[in-house]
Amino acid sequence: MSQHPPLAPRKRFGQNFLHDPAVLARIVAAIAPERQDRVIEIGPGRGALTVPLLGSLDHLEVVELDRDLIPGLRALAPPERLTIHCADALSFDFTARAPAPASLRVVGNLPYNISTPLLFHLLEHADAIQDMHFLLQKEVVERLVAAPGSKRYGRLGVMLGARAQAQQLFTVGPGAFRPAPKVESAVVRIRPLAQGRIPQGLENAFRQVVNQAFSNRRKTLRRALAGILEPADLVAAGVDGSLRPEELDIDTFVVLAQAANRRAEHGHSEGSHIRARRTDRGQREPA
């Protein structure tokens, strides 16, 4: 037994340590790890999920930011069975840890204060990931799985849905954590799509359209996308400008991104011609 008292959860790291054995068993059962799987756990904390995972795997990797938790993690298993990365998951290179495409399985009880940016970071490494199982704030999970037209449908669900498929598995009450959070949690399974829904070269336009649309989600598309698309562009794309962003499915956002990309290219080309004409007019014939 350790001579040191357990470390108190730190607010700045968004730490809420999971301790309920029944919940931990359900999470491991949902992951269904096989011995040879390449699994990375984010935010292992005191090792509540790490220990049962080690019981099912030949080797496990963990990413933990809090240096004070590292000694306790090292005591759980020898280095040949447990690789510990003392690093920030928000900047961690998950692709570099994948032995092959779609080979990583990423799991964790994610800190609520970084869950959304962390999900976006993981999507950048989607080609390396087979699946993800996370315990998140229930509201975040509801946003991940929301359908068009629902209150929770928004930027997060659209951006994730373009690269992956999310499934809510079960909810977890506050009592399963220390300290108990003020909200319910849920376990979600996320599987990257074999083929993303955003055509190559359209990623920036898609991100721009989705971000601006949901920054103005109470407005109609005509007003929400002003500056990116004109009403005539919406008509040409076959999209009703009186709709609101939360009414559009992902394929329609792709259509809008294609229209925005065409407008940007046309505007750049037109601007080049205007500059060229001005240059021509500005030249003087030799005396």
Strands 129-137 vs 104-109: parallel, antiparallel or unpaired: parallel
How high is the pLDDT of residue 283? 47
pLDDT at 72 over 70: yes
Band of pLDDT at residue 275, cut at 50, 70 and 90: very low
Tell me the domains of the chain and their CATH numbers: 11-192 (3.40.50.150), 203-282 (1.10.8.100)
Token duo for residue 249:
């499915």
Which of 150-154, 178-182, 238-242 is predicted with the least confidence, judged by mean pLDDT? 178-182
**Sign of the dihedral through C-alpha 238, 244, 245, 251:** negative
Specify which residues 84 forms β-bridges with.
Answer: 62
**Residue 45 one-letter amino acid:** G
Q: What is the rounded average pLDDT of the residues 194-207?
A: 94
pLDDT at 185 over 60: yes
CA 196 to chain CA mean position, Å: 14
How high is the pLDDT of residue 181? 78
**Residue 202 one-letter amino acid:** L
Distances (CA, A) of 110 to 20, 163, 227, 235: 16, 20, 37, 42
How high is the pLDDT of residue 267? 66
Residue 78, preceding bond cis, omega within 30 degrees?
Answer: no
d(CA 118, CA 147): 22
pLDDT at 268 over 70: no
Q: What is the pTM of this model?
A: 0.85
Q: What is the rounded average pLDDT of the residues 198-213?
A: 96
Per residue in 214-263, pLDDT (tens digit) is 999 999 999 999 999 999 999 999 999 999 999 999 999 999 999 999 99
Per residue in 212-226, pLDDT (tens digit) is 999 999 999 999 999
pLDDT at 278 over 70: no
Specify which residues 236 forms β-bridges with.
Answer: none
